[in-house]
Structure 1
Amino acid sequence: MTFFIGTYENKLDKKGRVSVPAPFRAMLAESAFKGVVIFPSYRADALEACSQEFLRELHQSLSGSLDLFSEEQDDLATSILAESHPLQIDQDGRIVLPPDLLEHAGLTDRVAFVGMGDLFQIWHPDRLAEKKKEARERARAKKLTLPLRKGRTSGPEEQQS
């Protein structure tokens, strides 16, 4: 199962080619489709990227939780599925971002890849810096916490009993 973490910055050339970070490529290599699916984020001036298997999970969630032909289902299907681009990763580890994706995210010469667990995002590095700052401020202001799920594996000190 893919699990994307970390932030990586790479150069974008004039043809829209950018190298996908090696750790992300390694995780995508587990997929039947040897590439990545990318779509414009409907919540930010960024791109969302995932394996084809995770896109299928998104589709199943969409189909299972919203009524077919409802406005909400149509909006999300249009925003995610209709806007998705399956992109092959070339032998040099690069993808070619289509012009509509470059424009949506304001990408020109640099790209930041941001691991978000099951998917990753692609940002203009300057916009990402603002986003990270705002996210930390909101989390701090709301005093967000996260309970650990049951079934968590024990650490080394707990295994020595």
Structure 2
Amino acid sequence: MTFFIGTFENKVDKKGRVSVPATFRQMLADQPFQGIVIFRSYRADALEAAGMDFMRRLHKSMSSNLDLFSDEHDDLATAILADSHQLSFDGDGRILLPPALIAHAQISDRAAFVGKGDLFQVWNPATLEQKKQEARDRAKAQKLTITLDREGENG
């Protein structure tokens, strides 16, 4: 099961190649497609990335919860599936980011990889720091908390 955590910053070369963190690649090692699926976030100036297994689950959930010909299904399918790129790892664990994705996330010479559990995001490091501070401030202001399920307990 894939579970992406942590934040890693890597260099982006002039061709747009960047190394995906080794711990993230290890999470994807058992998948038939040796690479990632990546698309522009429609919620932030960042990129969303995952393995093909997550994308299949996402599609299944969309198909199960939304009418196939609804505007909502069409909007999400267009924003996510139609905008997705399958990027293979090269021998050094790098991917080649397409120019449109680099422009969307305003990435130049560095990229930050941010684990989000089932998927991860790719950010411009400066933009990420601002986003992280905003998220911490909102969580603090709302006094957000999580109830942790206890393993082995019923209910």
- Please tell me the TM-score bracket, short chain as reference: over 0.9
Quote the RMSD (CA, aligned, Å): 1.1
For residues 141 and 152 of structure 1, the distance between their equivalents in structure 2, rounded to whole angstroms, comes to: 33
- Superposed CA deviations along residues 29-65 of structure 1, whole A, max 9, x for unmatched, are 1211111000000000000000000000010111111
Give the TM-score normalised by structure 1.
Answer: 0.92
Give the TM-score normalised by structure 2.
Answer: 0.96
- Superposed CA deviations along residues 110-148 of structure 1, whole A, max 9, x for unmatched, are 000000000000000000000000000111111111111
Which residue pairs with 1:88 in the alignment?
A: 88
Which residue pairs with 2:111 in the alignment?
A: 111
Q: Residues 108 and 82 from structure 1, CA distance in 2 versus in 1: closer, same or farther, beyond 3 angstroms?
A: same
For residues 67 and 112 of structure 1, the distance between their equivalents in structure 2, rounded to whole angstroms, comes to: 36
CA radius of gyration, larger in: 1
1:101 correspondence with 2:98: no
Which runs of no fewer than 5 residues in structure 2 stay unpaired?
Answer: none
The aligned runs of 1:2-151 (5 Å cut-off) are 2-151=2-151
Which runs of no fewer than 5 residues in structure 1 stay unpaired?
Answer: 154-161
The number of residues matched between the two structures is 153
Q: Residues 21 and 144 from structure 1, CA distance in 2 versus in 1: closer, same or farther, beyond 3 angstroms?
A: same
For residues 132 and 140 of structure 2, the distance between their equivalents in structure 1, rounded to whole angstroms, comes to: 12
Q: Shift of residue 149 of structure 1? A: 2.1
